[in-house]
Amino acid sequence: MQHAGKPTGNGHNLESPINPLYQRACFITAAVKVDRMPPDQGREVAFAGRSNAGKSSAINTICHRRRLARTSKTPGRTQQVVFFVLDETRRLVDLPGYGYAKVSEAVKLQWQRLMVSYLQQRRSLAGLVVVMDIRHPLTAFDRQMLEWGRRAELELLLLLTKSDKLKRGAARAERERVAKAVTADGRRIRVELFSAQTRLGTEPVHGVLDRWLGVGG
């Protein structure tokens, strides 16, 4: 059953159609090494983001699940590559939060090596969603993740989370600014406003994920 969008005072949607495929998402495993990950078959989409950018909340919202991906006020809680299965051939992947997590440099380097190895070696990886807080986008860490995605020749989607924190006009202006800033080598990267609170952006994200995962194709 689909729910019609319900506008709020600032023009955001409180509800959007629910895709049963994403609702069926469930945890299968977490790994700290590439050789401990599920078989490299089918298709998967990974989510990356700076600590506290709202990555886990975005995954939960996209899947219409409250506690699928663990959320925390403590930066850097996600320290493993976490896999969620959608069906026999499709997965979503939650990558370790990067940025200002209060961990040692050795641990940060370990996370970095893990993510680079995953992005470069994983053949089933169909696309990368980079999650940024709209109030603090395009940090040095965000740009590094985008560069890794480009080097791996991945499809990229930027989600500007917590968009409900800005007025509608300001959020749109920030989206345009970010979109222009990330255009490089003639390759346009899609940028979407997103809010876990209002579910703004859920439908466009489902559209991108459907294409990357080969849903309905």
| Domains of the chain from N-terminus onward | 20-213 (3.40.50.300)
Q: Outline where DSSP puts E strands in the chain.
A: 26-31, 43-49, 81-85, 90-94, 125-133, 155-161, 190-193
pLDDT greater than 60 at residue 94 = yes
Cα(166)–Cα(200) distance, integer angstroms: 13
pLDDT per position as a tens digit, 16-50: 456 799 999 999 999 989 999 999 999 999 999 98
Q: Is the pTM of this model over 0.85?
A: yes
CA-CA-CA-CA torsion sign (105, 49, 35, 156): negative
pLDDT score recorded for residue 186: 65
Average the pLDDT over 122-143 and give the result: 95
Higher pLDDT pick, 21 / 9 = 21
pLDDT per position as a tens digit, 154-198: 999 999 999 999 999 999 999 999 999 998 666 779 999 999 999
